[in-house]
Amino acid sequence: AMSASASCKPAPSRVAGTKGPSGPEAKITAEPGVTLEDACVPTGPEKCFDAVDDNCNGLIDEGCGLPTGPIQFVVAWGDNPLDVDLLLMDPSGNRISETTRSRAGFKLDRDCPRDGCQDANYETIYFEGADPPHGTYVVEVKLGDVGRGRLPARVRLGARVGTRSYGAAFRLTVEEPSKKLEFSL
């Protein structure tokens, strides 16, 4: 159960022609230990695989070979060789994970570090169409096999919901191996 509720001011829309969810800004609920922040960090050119909209154009890690869509969730954990999993439950209850790569228009791209991510560990789930379903999206970031990895795992989540970007930074440990966020449209 989510016990902390937070909202953040979204970055202004900077993507012309992108059809996003209509109505008010997304309601975001996050577990304790998840710090929500603006995903737009005007630091100059886009840096790859950091789950941040570095150039503030409304897209996360564009130009880095990552697919994108009107709904996109990206998790990055740098060169730490442990496994972090990105899971999504869409508004109709479909679950998207490393075992269900495509369902109801959503797709998981890459399963790092298994897919040979070369010290740029990230996973992204995105909606392939133009008109994503409205409702509540539950995003879970979960610690997988630690192997030779370092704990705590420092993780960054970037979320694109329509033309708005959100971000969260948190740590995963053996005691707290997962974090959940809900995005309601």
| pLDDT tens digits for range 96-125 | 887 776 667 898 888 888 877 888 899 999
Beta bridge partners of 126: 72, 107
Q: Is the confidence at residue 12, as pLDDT, over 50?
A: no
Residue 74, both tokens: 């990206």
Q: Is the confidence at residue 19, as pLDDT, over 90?
A: no
Q: Taking all residues of the chain, what is their mean pLDDT, rounded to a whole number?
A: 79
CA distance 65 to 124: 11
Q: Is the confidence at residue 10, as pLDDT, over 60?
A: no
C-alpha triplet 95, 86, 173: angle, nearest 5°? 125
With bands split at pLDDT 50, 70 and 90, how would you rate the model's confidence at 4? very low
Count of CB atoms situated within 10 Å of the CB of 23? 9
Instruction: Output the pLDDT for position 17.
Output: 26
pLDDT in tens, 62-91: 888 888 888 999 999 999 999 999 999 999
Instruction: Output the pLDDT for position 39.
Output: 63
What would the mean pLDDT of 140-153 be, rounded to a whole number?
95
Higher per-residue confidence, 134 vs 21? 134
pLDDT in tens, 34-60: 877 766 767 778 888 888 888 887 778
- The pTM is what? 0.80
The CB-side HSE value for 35 (13 A sphere, CA atoms) comes to 8
Contact present, 69 and 135 (Cβ < 8 Å): no
